[in-house]
Structure formats: C-alpha cells, structure tokens
Structure 1
C-alpha cells in the first residue's frame, strides 16, 4: 500500500449482460485504486466483451445457471447469435456503464489527466459513441495508447498530443486517431490481414521502434517509405510488408524477424544486428534461411538465431558451405544462438 508506483493500474472488463449489480461491485475497487495511488499516473485498461466471447461464456455457464439465462430470454440450448447481437446493441445504448467509467474519467474529465497509458479492447459491437464521449478529453500525461478493435468502422477521435507509443490493430485506425504521428516513438501494427498502404508511416518522423505484422499477399503499387529515425524493427508472420516499397531506414540498428523466410535486408535498411527466430516445427527450410543470413547479410555485424542450438545440423551445414564457398558476409563479426531454455552460446564460426 505504501508503494503504489508498483500497482498504479485500473483494469476493468465490461461484459455483455443485464446485471448492473455486477458492474456496481467494481466501483469500490475503482475508488480504492484512485485513492490509494496517491495521485500517481495510472495505467487504464478497458476490455469490452465481444459477442463471440459472450456466446462462449454463456455456453459454458448455461448448464450451471440455466434459469438465469432463460429469464433474460436467451436460449441456452441453442445459442442465438442474432439475439446476442441485438442484446449487445441494446446495452450499448444504455448509460449504466457510465456510472463506472465516470469514476475513472473524473468530474469534467479531470481524471483523464492522470492517465499514463490507455488500453482499449473494443470488439465487434457498437460502442463508438461511448468511447467517443468518454475519451475525447485531453490527456496531457498520456505516453502510451493501445487500441484493439475488429471493426473497420470504429474510429477514435482522441486529442493525445503527448502520445509517444501507439499500439493499433491496423493502418486504417491511424487515420482515425487524432494524435501527432510525428511525435510517435514506438508503434505496433498487428491483427491485420490487409495492409493496403503503409505510406502513412512516413508521418511518424520520430519513430524509433516499429513492430509490424501482416499476412496480406495483395499486390500493391511500388512506393517509397522513409523512416529517418527508426532504430528497431520487428516483423511477424509470413508476408513481407515492405515487399513493394523502396525503403530508407538510415538509422536502423536492429531487425527482429519471426518470418519463416527471414527478411530480405535491402539497400536503405542495413541493420548491424539481425535477430532471427526459427520455426519450432521441422527444420524444413532452416538450411536455406541460415545460408541466406550468412551469405547475403551485408552490413550485419551481429547475427542472433533463437530456437537453435550450437550443434544444429542446418546451422553447421550452412556455416561449412559458406566457408567453403568463401561466401560468409565480410561484415559479420559475431554469431550467437539461443536455445529454447534461454541459453545463449557464441559460435566461433571462423574456426569451425
């Protein structure tokens, strides 16, 4: 209790149900967090339950408490998805959630000034107007914003000029959030199946770290992307999001790749550290990936390979093949493998 800096956080999960008493029980918790945190900046997490989550939860509970759900007009033997959708829309139009959220927002919205970070998980039902009303207020101390939504129609008109870290589900949301992108220092893009245009990233002039994920295989017009201050880039999933871009990352220092084929480090993006995660499945494709990293990673000084051991046959074969062909990239100075248990082992590849 005397060290609120360890736990200055409010986390609320707002579920789809008519039981207002359940939400009211959270109010003492919220008030206690506000009072005991002694004015420290708060991390606020708001999770709104999705219709699918509600259906699964109701299905799990139906056999234990069938009478309650029957009283609410929900068929427990055959979950009616449309009825759940109507239920969620009806609740989103009521104001009983405001009684709880208003405690965090504070009178005249002054409580928002205590928010250090905000994580909002808004799934597939209409809460736009509630979010718009509650989060339109200035948050001068906000340094991290996380917006996760599965609806392209949702936009958040926020005035958060101090935001330096942003986590969003796709590029479309970037244009709907009124933050000064040129101030962003950390950005994560994920959960997106279609990234039609990354050119908006060029507005993030101060961006130092970028984590990006896409499965999209759409053809896009070739264009240029310049991130002059980017230091660390993390790439997830199978497709290369930069495949159609002429990229300029002059300050890039490190790339972390979870892609099964690595990442083709091209001109304009020459990291000195490359960290590759190998797939935990069979070693199919590991040999060609390791050969590419050893032979074509011009500019890479340190190569880190995770989920790998020093005696990995693909690694040994790749090193021996590259040495025999005198094809190990001239800039490489250090090779380290990290096993599943976290053990890191430097590899003396020159004397192997």
Structure 2
C-alpha cells in the first residue's frame, strides 16, 4: 500500500512515483480532451500498467490532497487550479515551437505593415488563431512629434484641445476651462504651445515649458498660462496605453454545456475590464520570459476560472515596449502555447525596434 497523500499537497516531493505517474497521465488526458478523466480511461493509456481499481484509489487520494476535483456526479476527475499549477511547474515538458508555426508567425506578423499598431493587431489575431483563445496585446501609445496645438471653446466651462502631429494625425481632448478665461487667451495659449512643441513630442518639451512658466519667462498672461498648465497636466497624466483583444469568438468554440457558457460569459466580462486586464499584463512586464496565471491566481479571473499566458516584448536595448499573450480556458495546451507566446513576443520586439 502507498502512503496517504497529505492534504493541500504543494510539491511533487509529496507524491510517490505511482501518484506522480497517475497525476501526470490524468492532467495530460484532460488537456487533450477538456473532459473529466476516469480510472478506466487512464488504465487504457500506455505507461501505467495498473488496474482501474488501483488508479481509482490513487485518484481519490489526489483529490483529497486538493489536486483533483470531480465536477457534479461525474465519475471522472479533472485537475484543480492548484493541480494545474503543480503540473505546469514540475511535470510539463515544453518543446520548441514547430517549424510550420514559426514560418506562419514570421510571414503574418512580418508582413503586417509599417505601422506598429498593425503589427500588434496582427500578433493578437495570430495568437488567437494558433492557441484557440483570445489574443491580447498591451502597448504604449506612440508619443509622436507635434506640429500644431489649438484650443476651441465648446461652452463656458469646456474646451476642446486639438493636437496635430507632424504626420497630420489629429487628436482631440476635452478640457475643463479655467475660470474667467477670455477668448484671446485660447489663441495665445495655442500659439505658445505650437511654437514650443513643433517637431518635438510632449514628453521632450514638457520640462522646458513648465520651467518657462514657473520662472515667468513664457510671456503669457495669467489666464493663458493657467490654460497651458492645465493642458500639460491633463495630457501628461492621460492614459498612454492601448489594449488590443482579438479572437473572442474562439472562446465560444469550446462551449459544450450551460456551465461552460456561463464561464465564457464571465470571461467576456473580465476582458471588458480594460484597466484590470492592463494591470495583469503589467505584472508580466518585469518577467524575463513567459508568465502563466491559472484561474484564481489572479483576482480578475476568480469567477471565470481562466488561464492567461503572457510575455513582455522588448527592443534591442531590452527596454520593455509592452506585453502580449493568450487568454482562454484552463485546458489550454500549455506545452504548445507557451513557446508560441514566447517566440511571438521576441519577433514583435525586433520588428517594432526596427520600425521605430
């Protein structure tokens, strides 16, 4: 007889050889099919050479240790989030990306176009198609050189700031008007900013403009100066990250029961929470390689019970430009998807570095 497995097993060292083999076979079968796995099914898989009764007893011990669960009244078992984490950390064998997939990634992402946003959108779509989940990309919005700034009054309390880049792109931002602002101050402030920002990004000119105003060297009257300061504060504090999500429909392809449909609905809700999803991707930005979040390991997915595989992408100086990855059900093919995400992140980093 084998020794009973301690509750809440936290390492492979707590499992004897038989328990480890059965656990590995069960998780691999679950990831292959997405279905709970029974003892009779495992006995027919090569490598165990055990009776269904022996396997069933060990499965019960693994369930008692918190590594397996039995959904509803099914006779089969499936790994818990803790079980999946133990499997990924200790038993998962990650190979190289397949040559055919490498060529597809190179071709599609490499020919996406010259604009960084096109490269990122294609990477997100590609990951969704290859991995069977939704593709995610978080990026820094480009801080482009500006050509012209203009302030347009909309009401006594609201102003539209029009920022025109060197490429001709126009960005409109709403602002609250400083109290007692005369129309002439709008023109004065716009002319001042246009002269200081022309050919430079906001980040490049920000400190010099703030210094001029603070030292009264800006040659602006008080109301125009207050408008410029308000604009700089508003623009420099604005959200400068974008989130691209592609392939959410892919998540519906795995729906086979009403509880799956509810889980996917919750996952869609999670994806809509842009700020939380960006915060999750930010956690991966400091990693050297791929990071994996399984189910309740991140509060964002505590209800939908999903997995996220993410990696940062960097330029040649190893400065992080953003993060990309895949979100889907916990039965993602981790051994295949992890190298896909890793390779795509490296390629995107090289491409964006070459086009910046």
Q: Which interval holds the TM-score relative to the shorter structure? A: under 0.3
Normalised to the residue count of structure 1, the TM-score between the two structures is 0.21
TM-score (norm 2): 0.20
Larger radius of gyration: 2
Q: Name the structure where helix makes up a greater proportion of residues.
A: 2
